[in-house]
Amino acid sequence: MTMEKRSTREALGDGLTELGRLNENVVVIDADVASSTYVKAFADEFPDRYYNVGIAEQNMVEVASGMALAGKKPYAVAFSSFLIGRAYDQIRCCVAMPNLDVKLVATHAGITVGEDGSTHQMLEDLALMRVLPNMNIFVPADYWSARNMIVSSYKNDKPLYIRLGRPEVPLFYSPWDEFHIGGGRIIREGSDVSIVACGIMLFEALRAADILARQGIEAEIIDCYSVKPLPEELIQSSVRRTGCCVVAEEHNGMGGLCGAVAESLGINYPVPLRFVAVKDRFGESGTPAELQEYYSLKYREIVGAVAQVWTTRRR
C-alpha cells in the first residue's frame, strides 16, 4: 500500500479507454454523468462509440441490452443509486433474464459519496444485484484493481455489475495484478481470525490487523472483490484454519457481502461471525470521513468484532 491515492471511479475512464483500443465492439452508454464518472476520456477518444442518453437510466439499460443483442459489448454507466434504484426492472428483465453481455458500472456507491446525502448514498445495490440470477458482481478496493477488473471484463460474456466509489483511496495493488469472476485474494495471512472485506473496508481491515497483531491475534485478511459468485472455497479454507470470521463492507449488513458469507458459512461450516456494516439505515449528509465514523465503518469496529468472535471461535 502506498501513500498515493486515487479513486476507483477514476479507473473507469482509464479502463474503458484501454478497452476501446482493445476491442472495437466496446461501446459506452452514459446517463449524462461523463465528467463525474470519468468516461469523458472514452467519449473524447471514441466519440462514435459513446452514447449519452441523458438522465434516463431505464432507457440506458434498454439501449445497452439492444446493443448486446446486436453483437456489441456495452458498458452502461451511471451513479449507483440511479442505475440500480431507477432501472432495476430493466436490469432484471432486459439484462439478467436473457443473460446478456451487458456491463453495468456504477460510481458514487456507499456512504462515502458524502455531502450529497441519503438519496445518492446507495447501500442496497449489492443485495439487489445478488438476488438476480445470471448477475455477477465486482467490488474493487483501489484504482488498480478497478482498472484491471474493467479491462478484463470484456473477456466474459455474462451480465456484470461493477461497484465503484467517489473518494480517493490508497493504492494497494499493482498494474499487473489479475482479477477474475468468483475470485478473492488473501492479502495477509493469519491463524486466529478471518476478516473478509471488500471495497474501502479492505483498508480498515488492514489497519485493524496491525492493532490485533500487537494484541497477539493474527488476522487473515481476504479481499473478497467478487461478491457474486463468492470465492467460497477460499473463505471456507481460511475459516477452517481460524475458526471465526468478521465481514466488513460499505453496504447494508443485510443482503450484500455480509449476507453472502453468512449464507455460505451457515450451510458449510458454521463459526462465530460478526458484521461491520451499515445497520439497516439510510445515509445522511456529511463528509466521507465523518460518515465512516458515524456509521461505525472503521478499523476500531473491526477490532471490536474480532474480540467478540475470537473468544468463542471454533477450535
pTM of the model as a whole: 0.96
Q: What is the mean pLDDT of residues 91-118?
A: 95
| pLDDT at site 314 | 81
Do 267 and 301 lie in a common domain? yes
Question: Would you give the DSSP letter of residue 113?
Answer: G
Q: How many CA atoms lie within 13 A of 232 on its CB side?
A: 12
The pLDDT of residue 159: 98
Predicted local confidence at residue 1, as pLDDT: 62
For residue 11 the three cell numbers come to 479507473
1: number of Cβ within 10 Å: 13
The domain of 224 spans: 185-310
Same domain? 130 vs 221: no
Q: Are strands 136-138 and 226-228 parallel, antiparallel or unpaired?
A: antiparallel
| Structural domain includes residue 124 | yes
In sequence order, what are the beta bridge partners of 52? 30
Segment 183-189 mean pLDDT: 97
Give the residue from 169, 167, 82, 160 showing the smallest Cα distance to 122: 82
Same domain for 191 and 112: no
Shortest CA distance to 217 belongs to which of 184, 200, 180, 242? 242
When divided into structural domains, the chain yields a total of: 2
149: CATH? 3.40.50.970
Same domain, 220 and 122: no
* 31 and 156 assigned to the same domain: yes
* Catalytic residue, candidates 4, 10, 45, 57: 57
Q: SS3 of 13, please?
A: helix
Asked if 50 and 86 sit in the same domain, the reply is yes
Let me know if residue 315 belongs to a domain: no
Whether pLDDT at 265 is above 90 = yes
pLDDT band (50, 70, 90) for residue 271: very high
> Of 90-94, 111-115, 147-151, 204-208, where does mean pLDDT reach its minimum?
111-115
283: Cα separation from own chain's centroid: 18
Domain end: 118, 143, 170, which one? 170
For the question of residue 218 being annotated catalytic, the response is: no
